[in-house]
Amino acid sequence: MAGGRCSSQLTALLAAWVAAATATAGPDQAALPAEQSRVQPMTASNWTLVMEGEWMLKFYAPWCPSCQQTDSEWEAFAKNGEILQISVGKVDVIQEPGLSGRFFVTTLPAFFHAKDGIFRRYRGPGIFEDLQNYILEKKWQSVEPLTGWKSPASLTMSGMAGLFSISGKIWHLHNYFTVTLGIPAWCSYIFFVVATLVFGLFMGLVLVVISECFYVPFPRHLSEHSEQNQRSEEAHRAGQLQDAEDDKDDSNEEENKDSLVDDEEEKEDLGDEDEAEEEEEEDNLAAGVDEDRSEANDQGPPGEDSATQEELEPEETEEAISEQPCPADTEVVEDSLRQRKSQHADKGL
């Protein structure tokens, strides 16, 4: 009995000792701090830290498998940040959509290098050795920097950050309606459409009020005077245009008159030339008739030679008679001259 009691007491003592040992060891083990991450989370409030010194940034999403594969490599790279004299940060695009819009992140994961406010996109693999060589060998110097409107510090990208922030808030609100409250998705869409229209009308009203506050209307007499001046200027311009048109019409009439006078003078000159030609033709015809008549008179037989002429053969007398001009031919010539004169007179008219 005594031995059994001793054994039970020893067992109880051993159990109490083990419990005390575990109780004393537990707080010591819990007091040991976990390994602290060297990667600094970046938000919209502290992202300006990257404008000074040298930084490497990683944009990721918790649901992205590729981002999860590079987490260990990124942590190892951050541990050697003091040796490389570089700071390492990360940005959750779900929690910070404004920063993703400021850097215009379209693929995940995305890496950026910053040196004194000058940003460059790192397109290599997210492996520790490649990242370390990128810094030690200064390969970033051969990469074209993001300058101008593409720079995250520019005004354009600041506006882009605002748009991404608004879109992120709308997305969170939509998830709250559909997931937390259980509202159908189409009801959420209708809500956002109505909210957009109301917001647009409200902003239009604000702009109208602002314009009315800053717009200074002219006094009534000044406005009437300006209207009178405007009307007088318009009347003066209309008068100038009418005068110009009248001048053009007058010049066209004068040109037409000059052209008509020139045409009449040309016709008169042509008529004079035709009359001169007709007179020449009449003179030539009259001269020809006179010559024919003189020749006929010259060939007439005198009294002394009557005997010799009687002896001429009848053929010679017939030829002489045929050579004499016939009065019918002269009448035809005169008729033709008269017709030509009447034709030239008609042309002159």
Return d(Cα 131, Cα 124) in angstroms, integer: 8
Q: Which of 67, 187, 213, 326 is catalytic?
A: 67
Q: Which of 6, 64, 187, 326 is catalytic?
A: 64
SS (H, E, C) the chain: CHHHHHHHHHHHHHHHHHHHHHHHHHHHHHHCCCCCCCCEECCCCCHHHHHCCEEEEEEECCCCHHHHHCHHHHHHHHHCHHHHCCEEEEEECCCCHHHHHHCCCCCCCEEEEEECCEEEEECCCCCHHHHHHHHHCCHHHHCCCCCHHHCCCCHHHHHHHHHHHHHHHHHHHHHHHHHHCCCCHHHHHHHHHHHHHHHHHHHHHHHHHHHHHHCCCCCHHHHHHHHHHHHHHHHHHHHHHHHHHHHHHHHHHHHHHHHHHHHHHHHHHHHHHHHHHHHHHHHHHHHHHHHHHHHHHHCCCCCCCHHHHHCCCHHHHHHHHHHCCCHHHHHHHHHHHHHHHHHHHHHHC
187 tagged catalytic: no
67 tagged catalytic: yes
**Cα end-to-end distance, the chain, whole Å:** 174
- List residues with catalytic annotation: 64, 67
